[in-house]
Amino acid sequence: MKVELCPLETEDAEEFVTDNQEAFNYGALEEFGVRDTHFEEDGQIISRQTILDCIGEGQAFRILADGRKAGGAVIRLRGSRGSLELLFVSPALHSRGVGHAAWLEIEKRFPEVKVWETCTPYFEKRNIHFYVNRCGFHIVEFFFSRHPGPDSADAPSEEDGFFRFEKRMPR
């Protein structure tokens, strides 16, 4: 399967948002079932506004697999540091190497980045496996009620904790 990154077109932003929400909801429903209480807005793990804010503050890409929309990514660069704000793959394409291939394309596209970082909720076991075992990230911090994130106005509750990952690129 050939995987490519294409800059997000303005006219594709709404579909990007709903595709992202579908992928994030899938992970939460897989873990918690319909009893999930981790929603940012009515019925959505990640709100439309959160996704739009990420797009507005970073560089958004569509992930294409064999020329078809397969997911998306948003990154933000600050000098030699890069932040993976969002990365999602359509649930229909999970476990087929699309996410890993997309990540390798991001690394290739931004060789100036020496340290990448990203975060994921504690319950996203698939994400933790993906970032640590497939992409080479390391868990460097866990945010929860006793250790709130630096940008958090409110500390996450015990059940809403999340991991911060870093990947230091070889010199």
Domain ranges in the chain are 3-168
Higher pLDDT, 36 or 49: 49
Q: The tokens 């992970």 sit on which residue? A: 27
Class of 3-168 in CATH: alpha beta
| The dihedral sign for the CA sequence 95, 75, 137, 32 | negative
Does the structure show a pLDDT above 70 at 29? no
Looking at residues 56-64, what average pLDDT do you find?
Answer: 97
| 68-110 tens-digit pLDDT | 999 999 999 999 999 999 999 999 999 999 999 999 999 999 9
Does the structure show a pLDDT above 90 at 156? no
